[in-house]
Amino acid sequence: MIRRHAAVAGLGDAVIVNTCAVTQEAVRQGAQQIRRLRRERPGARVIVTGCAAQVEPQRYAGMAAVDHVIGNVEKMQPGTYRVLAEPSGAPRLMVGDIMAAHDVAEPSGEVLSPIPRAFVQVQNGCNHRCTFCVIPFGRGRSRSVPADDVVTQVRRLVEAGMPEVVLTGVDVTSWGDDLPERPPFGRLVRKVLREVPELARLRLSSIDQAETDAELLAVIAEEPRLMPHLHVSLQSGADLILKRMKRRHSRADAIALCSEVRRRRPDIALGADLIAGFPTETEAHFEDTMSIVDECGLTFLHVFPYSARRDTPAARMPQLPGEVVRERAARLREKGRAVLEDWLVRFTGQTINAALERAGGAELPGRTPQFAQVSIRGVGTGQKAGDVVAVRVTGVDGGRLVAEVAA
Ligand code: SF4
């Protein structure tokens, strides 16, 4: 959508960098990319936007490589690009107060990825204040897309041939809090599946367990088209660290949720975000995080080495040495590789379904319902991306299943 608005305003040649602020490393890489693009395209206008630009606009406005800085709301508005395209002195900074944002941007309807999976944003922003997180300052307060609009978007995608949709948001399970009658997120999931019966597969981006409602648990148990894979925002396995993070769940809550979900949907695969090396984390706290991986039966780990984000409460807490943070993150990632491998091996010899992510080739990537990657041999030329094929798993290689089309 950004590209389209810019092109319509006559800025098709501009370089637009959409920055991320979630970790210090993401910010560093963004700045590096801006400088590289400036060197590669010396005559082009460089426009910087995204969460890092929203959080620290002056930092980017001060860079010689940057011509304009625009905020996360402004980047979605066609008028911004018209102003920037004006020949007489376009402003260097167009960054408004993100906390005043009320709407989620209009969906573009564009599907950019060749993978037949579309992302539908149902919510943006976050009202929580986890002590390590800068996201609310980049995205603003939580706001939801009304259910009927979500259904319309999903229906449009399905009518255009999209077999799989992921409902996304910054804090997706808070969906509905700002809508009349405060419907729970589970009701939206149920409505999408009921009102778009041709949708083959529905997935959810990431859930916050403190916001997991009874309707969501019911729909997980009852709707086979909701794929058996959930990603949970856990962050730590130690109660004291969870408290210092200002999370809204305990270790016991996390374990109880995972076990309840698995009881209702035994084939489900669970993933989680985990932070290693949060300020004041002792070796014993870290061991609690390592052990919650087993107690929750997690399969997919997203491990983040803690990095202090400016102006967050956690940045003012006693920090751990960098090497301790890196070493713990490495151990946790190693644990992640081991649990994934152990889980994948169980599929060897089984015949399972996999959705093709591409067509045409001797060996094709696919995804199982639980979102495991699978490398598939022997796919017929008549198959297209998005089709589901029955495959026999022959082994595991580098964190993915290896399979051939079942006879
Ligand atoms: S709930 Fe998620 S997005 Fe919101 S403050 Fe916490 S970590 Fe950040």
- Per residue, what are the HEC states of 67-104? CEEECCCHHHCHHHHHHHHCCCCCCCEECCCHHHCCCC
Residues 340-353, mean pLDDT to the nearest whole number: 97
Q: Which has more confidence, 84 or 149?
A: 149
Q: Which two tokens stand for residue 235?
A: 């962050």
pLDDT score, position 111: 60
Q: Which two tokens stand for residue 12?
A: 């098709």
Residue 333 has pLDDT above 90, yes or no: yes
Position in ligand 1 atom list of the atom nearest CA 134: 8
Closest CA relative to residue 344, chosen from 384, 294, 386, 401: 401
What is the C-alpha separation between 29 and 339, in angstroms, rounded?
30
Long-range Cβ contact pairs of 105-108 (< 8 A, separation 24 or more): 105/1, 105/73, 105/76, 106/1, 106/76, 107/153, 108/1, 108/4
Lowest mean pLDDT among 83-97, 182-196, 263-277: 83-97
**Mode of pairing for the β-strands spanning 46-50 and 68-70:** parallel
Question: Which amino acids bring their CB within 6 angstroms of ligand 1?
Answer: 126, 128-130, 133, 135-136, 170-171, 208, 233
pLDDT grade for 403, boundaries at 50, 70 and 90: very high
Compute the distance from residue 73 Cα to the ligand 1 centre, in Å.
19
pLDDT grade for 106, boundaries at 50, 70 and 90: low
pLDDT score, position 153: 96
What is the Cα 37 distance to its own chain's centre? 26
pLDDT score, position 115: 80
Look at the block and give the residue holding tokens 């591409």. Answer: 358
- The domains located in the chain, with CATH, are 2-96 (3.40.50), 118-345 (3.80.30.20), 351-405 (2.40.50.140)
pLDDT grade for 136, boundaries at 50, 70 and 90: very high
Residue 89 has pLDDT above 90, yes or no: no
Residue 194 has pLDDT above 80, yes or no: yes
pLDDT grade for 232, boundaries at 50, 70 and 90: very high
* Residues in the chain, total: 407
Position in ligand 1 atom list of the atom nearest CA 129: 5
Closest CA relative to residue 107, chosen from 70, 153, 74: 153
Residues 393-403, mean pLDDT to the nearest whole number: 97
Do the beta carbons of residue 301 and residue 275 sit within 8 Å? no
pLDDT grade for 249, boundaries at 50, 70 and 90: very high
Residue 125 has pLDDT above 90, yes or no: yes
Residues 60-66, mean pLDDT to the nearest whole number: 93
Residue 251 has pLDDT above 90, yes or no: yes
Residues 171-187, mean pLDDT to the nearest whole number: 96
Using CB atoms within 10 Å of the CB of residue 110, give its burial: 0 to 12 exposed, 13 to 18 middle, 19+ buried.
Answer: exposed
pLDDT score, position 15: 93
Position in ligand 1 atom list of the atom nearest CA 246: 6
Residue 149 has pLDDT above 60, yes or no: yes
Residue 18 has pLDDT above 90, yes or no: yes
Q: Which has more confidence, 338 or 25?
A: 338
Strand-by-strand arrangement of the 118-121 sheet: 118-121, 164-168, 201-204
Pocket test for ligand 1, best of 128, 131, 232, 304 (most atoms within 8 A of CB): 128
pLDDT grade for 87, boundaries at 50, 70 and 90: confident
pLDDT score, position 198: 97
Residues 68-96, mean pLDDT to the nearest whole number: 88
Compute the distance from residue 135 Cα to the ligand 1 centre, in Å.
7
pLDDT score, position 284: 98
DSSP state string for 192-219: HHHH-TT--EEEES-B-GGG--HHHHHH
Instruction: Write out pLDDT tens, residues 349-382.
Output: 999 999 999 988 889 999 999 999 999 999 988 8
Q: Name the residue at shortest CA distance from atom 6 of ligand 1.
A: 130
Residues 74-92, mean pLDDT to the nearest whole number: 86
pLDDT score, position 219: 97
The whole-chain average pLDDT of the chain stands at 94
Residue 110 has pLDDT above 70, yes or no: no
Do the beta carbons of residue 134 and residue 179 sit within 8 Å? no
pLDDT grade for 113, boundaries at 50, 70 and 90: low
Compute the distance from residue 246 Cα to the ligand 1 centre, in Å.
10
Closest CA relative to residue 309, chosen from 23, 52, 59: 23
pLDDT score, position 385: 93
- Compute the C-alpha angle 320/128/317, nearest 5°: 20
Position in ligand 1 atom list of the atom nearest CA 126: 4
